């Protein structure tokens, strides 16, 4: 079931890249094998061997293409033009420009392309956090004020294609750890939809 506010978040994140972005609310794809991630280290033999990384970016600073139209999971078409994605939400309500978006994945995500990723061997976790909650401490991913989703595509098959899926990422916790000016995000006890994102990731701050 799509959580409140999720439809708009999907439309917003579709605009982060010129390619189709599936942050998903459909049934997860059937992926072969699982992966392990320990303190941001290399992934196992399941999805990819690249190092995963993390960034945090404000809603108002999300890179929006001048005109982007794409399809999100479930067959819902969403189009975003200019900077309107961060200005208004459903019903014309204002969107907090200071919402924090944490992107974790092996794309790897960057400040200019948070949704970067290969066609196959790819995973991304996206966590939308109100600015007042983006403080050091442990937070539950199931908190209704937080929107957490994932997108994944498995290893390439003989035909060059791969299975994928996405959905809500609401199991477990994420912890924000502050050490001086450096930030780290730590995922614990999260869902394992063909990949294991548990571990610690230094955060590049696109702020």
pLDDT tens figures, 8-26: 444 444 334 333 333 333 3
Which tokens in the block code for residue 79? 């189009």
pLDDT of res. 69: 28
pLDDT tens figures, 28-86: 333 333 333 333 333 333 554 357 999 999 999 999 742 222 322 222 222 233 333 44
Q: Are 155 and 162 in contact (CB under 8 A)?
A: yes
Q: Are 126 and 73 in contact (CB under 8 A)?
A: no
Q: Is the pTM of this model over 0.95?
A: no
- The H or E element spanning position 8 is helix 6-14
pLDDT tens figures, 86-141: 445 555 556 789 999 999 999 999 999 999 988 898 999 999 999 999 999 999 99
Angle at 19 between CA 18 and CA 25, to 5 degrees: 120
């Amino acid at each position: 079931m799509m959580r409140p506010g999720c439809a708009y978040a999907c439309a917003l994140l579709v605009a982060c890249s010129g390619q189709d972005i599936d942050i998903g609310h459909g049934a997860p794809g059937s992926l072969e094998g699982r992966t392990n991630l320990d303190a941001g280290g290399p992934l196992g033999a399941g999805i990819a061997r690249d190092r995963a990384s993390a960034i945090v970016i404000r809603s108002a600073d999300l890179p929006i293409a001048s005109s982007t139209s794409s399809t999100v999971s479930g067959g819902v078409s969403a189009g975003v033009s200019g900077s309107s994605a961060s200005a208004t939400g459903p019903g014309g309500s204002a969107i907090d420009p200071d919402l924090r978006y944490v992107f974790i994945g092996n794309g790897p995500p960057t400040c200019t392309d948070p949704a970067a990723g290969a066609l196959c061997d790819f995973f991304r976790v996206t966590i939308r956090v109100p600015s007042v909650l983006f403080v050091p401490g442990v937070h539950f991913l199931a908190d209704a004020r937080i929107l957490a989703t994932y997108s994944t595509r498995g290893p390439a098959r003989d035909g060059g294609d791969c299975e994928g899926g996405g959905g809500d990422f609401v199991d477990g916790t994420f912890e924000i750890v502050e050490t001086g000016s450096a930030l780290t995000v730590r995922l614990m006890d999260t869902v394992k939809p063909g990949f294991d994102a548990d571990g610690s990731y230094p955060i590049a701050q696109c702020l």
